[in-house]
Amino acid sequence: MENWGLVTYRTSALLVSMYSSSLSNRKRVTTVVAHELAHQWFGDIVTMEWWDDLWLNEGFASFVENIGTDYAHPEFKIWETFLDSENSMLFVDSSYFTHPVEAVITDPKSIDTLFDSITYDKGSSVIRMCYEYLGPNVFMSGINQYLTQYAYGNANNSDLWTVLRFANIDISFL
């Protein structure tokens, strides 16, 4: 569980041995740590405006967990796992019971329904598509602007798209 400046874990979610822990357990611990650390920025420094935009917090944290895991342990081949999750999510997303990543929440009782593979995995897939479409430099420039502009405040879906749109404007002619 992340809190601004502090991440708490269950012992089972943190302690592993290179010698006695399974590969899947070591991957899980690495991704959980990376995910919760990502929330220091996406969720804590910049917080969603309302539950409709939960995917911003969880989609970014899920995307960044893969970047962090790949950096720390390239042997895990985490992007292959990402594609497996994406394929599973697409199956769920094609069902009658799906919802958009930006879901309209009018009743606090329905908030819990958003903590699912659509919010985490589809949200992360949307972020990765933006990364691939814009390219690493433009994407990171836009995310840097997003985190700077909305630091210690709230942002919504439209705020992200606006920042990314302006990050993609070529001003090299100036």
User: pLDDT at residue 171 above 70?
Assistant: no
Q: What percent of the chain has pLDDT over 90?
A: 67
pTM: 0.89
pLDDT tens column, 93-107:
888 888 899 999 999
Task: Say which amino acid occupies 158.
Answer: S
Query: Both tokens of residue 133?
Result: 């479409």
Domains of the chain listed by start with CATH number: 23-166 (1.10.390.10)
Residue in 36, 58, 75, 80 annotated catalytic:
36
Average pLDDT rounded to a whole number, residues 43-60 = 96
Phi then psi for 6, rounded to 5 degrees? -145, 130
pLDDT at residue 174, as a whole number: 40
Residue spans of alpha helices (H) in 2-113: 23-38, 54-72, 78-93
**Residue 90 confidence class, pLDDT cut points 50, 70, 90:** confident
Cβ distance 59 to 124 under 8 Å?
A: yes
81 or 121, which is more confident: 121
* Residues 38, 15: Cα–Cα separation, whole Å: 19
pLDDT tens column, 106-154:
999 999 999 998 999 999 999 999 999 999 999 999 999 999 999 999 9
* Residues 59, 123: Cα–Cα separation, whole Å: 4
* Coil vs helix vs strand at 26: helix
Query: Both tokens of residue 84?
Result: 């497996």
pLDDT at residue 172, as a whole number: 55
Active site residue 36: yes
